[in-house]
Structure 1
Amino acid sequence: MIEVRRSGDRYRGGEPAAGIESLHAFSFGPHYDPDNLRFGAILACNEERLAPGTGFDEHPHSHTEIVTWVVEGELTHRDSTGHASLVRPGDVQHLSAAGGVRHVERNDGDTPLVFVQMWLAPLTPGGDPSYEVVHGIADSTPYAVPGAGALLHVRRLGPGERAALPDAPHLYVHVVRGETGLGQELLGPGDSARVTGETDLAAAATGGGPAELLVWEMTGPPQG
């Protein structure tokens, strides 16, 4: 089964007047939807747009695996465990909040910042927080989040190119840019697909230009 969720149906949050725009794919904050709390391990998939000089001041997280993919611009990260870094397009950032951590996320550059941030539920809560940035991850190298039983695959497709997706109990596919064919479905930027029980599935760049996808492979039983 492939269930498509369109970008235009996302809940709009943030503070647009302050230069912060957020688009939420799942129940989030004041927007509570009991039928859209999670899919597999995924609790949130937020598209964030920060104007230069804006950002999220220090705030707490716990019992969450947070993975961030920068689309445009440069993300400044600082956290209460002493990590400070700049995250750029092509980098995978992973903050394991574990028993508790506080962090700051800002656009300290002079151009707009766009990033996708995904929250995953840990298999076991608690523990010590950890932080990692993988710079320039390759399409052929999945990024493992063992604490959530999940793998992140990046797929960058040239015009007309196809790529096989992993066979797994369920996949979550987010289109970062371009138009993508997935089975009989056509997805555009910001669209997502929740895939359950499909095999031999491929994605194709169908819009005459390149496409970029984030694909979560999850092995646990479907939830949400």
Structure 2
Amino acid sequence: MVPVMDVRRADERYRGGDPATGIESRHAFSFGFHYDPDNLRFGPLIACNEERLAPGAGFDEHPHSHTEIVTWVVEGELTHRDSQGNETLVRPGDVQRLGSAGGVRHVERNDGPVPLTFVQMWLAPREPGGDPAYEIVRGIADSTPYAVPGAGALLHVRRLVAGERTAVPDAAYVYLHVVRGGVRIGSYELGPGDAVRAEGEKDLDVVAASGPAELLMWEMAA
């Protein structure tokens, strides 16, 4: 594999959602009515959506299947309900995973008094079908990987102070999303919403620039 590092800026994301109802979305990949045949997926990652919900706004019950859905709340609180009977309030620092498998329905809402921002990432499983699964990890510790074995992926959450470095996994595919703050990787300066798609890169690291930063890094097998 020839090493490739592809930087995608926040303002390149496709704007979706329904602002009139309090939903603003920014999509990194083809999604919904937006179709780009050259931007369908990166490894098993098929969506990385930044969602902003006003108080009282949300996504009514809708179906999913054959997708691993991982959610990271940036600010506010997300109310999740699904057809398997799970009802959860997801807060900043929690990792939520819904394995939709053969099919599941769920609701996502901002029932709180302040705006909600979250990042939702979808991965394609290696094998379709099976039974739906749900998991939430409360307050995941920094540098503790979260495994999604069905998709051959690990999520690394990193919170860095100014000047701190962290290694980028040596993997077939690495997707790095900047949640907050500014960082530097190689010769690139990245800010909130910016992302890097690295293929076959080795010995990379990320350093926080002038202040604290928060990163989501997916380590994915070929």
TM-score range, shorter chain: over 0.9
Shift of 1:111: 0.4
- In structure 1, the partner of 2:29 is 26
- Normalising by structure 2, report the TM-score: 0.98
- In structure 1, the partner of 2:149 is 146
- In structure 2, the partner of 1:131 is 134
Say if 2:43 is the partner of 1:40. Answer: yes
- In structure 1, the partner of 2:81 is 78
Q: Distance in 2 between matches of 1:19 and 1:164?
A: 38
Cα shift readout 1:124-146 (whole Å, capped 9, x = no counterpart)? 00000000000010122100000
Gapped runs of 5+ residues in structure 1?
Answer: none
1:98 pairs with 73, 98, 101, which one? 101
**1:1-224 aligned within 5 A:** 1-206=4-209, 208-220=210-222
One-letter code of the match for 1:113?
L
Q: Distance in 2 between matches of 1:113 and 1:126?
A: 32
Q: Distance in 1 between matches of 2:122 and 2:12?
A: 19
Q: Distance in 2 between matches of 1:166 and 1:109?
A: 36
Shift of 1:42: 0.3
Gapped runs of 5+ residues in structure 2?
Answer: none
Q: Distance in 2 between matches of 1:164 and 1:134?
A: 23
Shift of 1:201: 0.8
Cα shift readout 1:41-97 (whole Å, capped 9, x = no counterpart)? 000000000000010000000000000000000000000000000000000000000
Q: What SS does structure 1 have at the residue aligned with 2:55?
A: coil
Q: How many equivalent pairs are there?
A: 219
Cα shift readout 1:88-124 (whole Å, capped 9, x = no counterpart)? 0000000000000000000000000000000000000
Q: What SS does structure 2 have at the residue aligned with 1:17?
A: helix
- Normalising by structure 1, report the TM-score: 0.97
Q: What SS does structure 2 have at the residue aligned with 1:168?
A: coil
Root mean square deviation, CA, Å: 0.6
Shift of 1:197: 1.2
| % identity of equivalent residues | 74
Q: Distance in 2 between matches of 1:66 and 1:22?
A: 16
